[in-house]
Amino acid sequence: MSELSEAFRTAFQLIVELDPKLVEIVLLSLRVSFSALGLAAFLGMPLGALLGVSRFPGRHGLIVLLNALMGLPPVVVGLLVYLLLSRSGPLGGLGLLFTPTAMILAQTVLITPIIAALTRQTVEDLWEEYQEQMRSLGAGTLEAATTVLYEGRFSLLTALLAGYGRAAAEVGAVIIVGGNIAHVTRVMTTAIVLETNRGDLPLALGLGILLVLLAIAVNGSAQLIGEAARRAAG
């Protein structure tokens, strides 16, 4: 029991003192997850919107596949990206393995389906309401899809948060393609695994607490921004 409280005390101390080791790890984590989020939003939102407004044979199968990919295990994504980027892999020449870029790529693969699938659902629901109005105002499919994406911007914030949550919390993909190298590819989740294994519980716990606090901060600010924007735009 005293060991646990001791760990907590040290953990808080590390946070309050802004321990440089800790800060470095946190900053890299944020950089990787937010870059992946940006890329995944760039790819997933238009994809989801188009899937939501278009009708073609095989669409239902594609939606089932996309929804299933939301549950893609991070270790499997890590393994696939590892195979792609490893020396003998098709993209081996780029020398990206065990770099933050590789970690961003892996997390992008992981969360693009989440963002696309949630976007698809939002856009499809809105589409029911907007479709005839859009057509009668003279919008083509692409213009209508863009408009409906913009109309659903508040609901889509949730899709982004889900994507960020997944990226920030996973360890399987980044540990495989990043290698958890100190000062290079060590992020919060991989550091927690390492420090726990090594028995350095205070550092692991400090990182764990920060990880949770960051999740709360990101979600909380998204909520506030969303509400303010919603009040302004109706």
Partner 1 sequence: MPPAEVLPLVFDGVGLEAGGEWLLHDLCFRLDTGPCSVILGPNGAGKTLTLRLCNGLILPSRGRIRWAGSGGGDPAAARALVFQRPVLLRRSAAANVDYPLRLRGVARRERERRCEEVLEATGLAPIAQRPARKLSVGQQHRLALARVWALRPQVLFLDEPAASLDPAASRSLEAAIHVIRKEGTKIVMTTHDLGQAKRMSDEVLFLHRGRLLEQTPAEQFWQEPRTAEAKGFLRGEVL
Residue 61 lies near partner 1 (rule: CB under 8 A):
no
- Shortest separation between residue 234's beta carbon and partner 1, angstroms: 3
Handedness of CA 230, 147, 134, 112 (dihedral sign): negative
Residue 129 lies near partner 1 (rule: CB under 8 A):
yes
Structure token pair of residue 124: 């499809």
Q: Which of 30, 70, 79, 139 binds partner 1 (CB under 8 A)?
A: 139
Euclidean distance between CA atoms 111 and 212, whole angstroms: 19
- Shortest separation between residue 209's beta carbon and partner 1, angstroms: 38
Q: Which residues of 94-104 are buried (b: 16+ CB within 10 A; e: fewer)?
A: eebbbbbbbbb
Rounded to the nearest 10 degrees, the angle between the axes of helix 100-137 and helix 153-169 is: 160
Q: Are 117 and 48 in contact (CB under 8 A)?
A: yes
Q: Which range, of 3-11, 131-139, 174-182, 203-211, touches partner 1 by CB under 8 A? A: 131-139
- Shortest separation between residue 218's beta carbon and partner 1, angstroms: 24
Q: Which of 147, 158, 196, 219 binds partner 1 (CB under 8 A)?
A: 147
- Shortest separation between residue 230's beta carbon and partner 1, angstroms: 9
Q: Are 123 and 47 in contact (CB under 8 A)?
A: no
Chain residues that interact with partner 1, rule: CB under 8 A: 129-130, 132-133, 135-139, 143, 147, 150-151, 153, 232-234
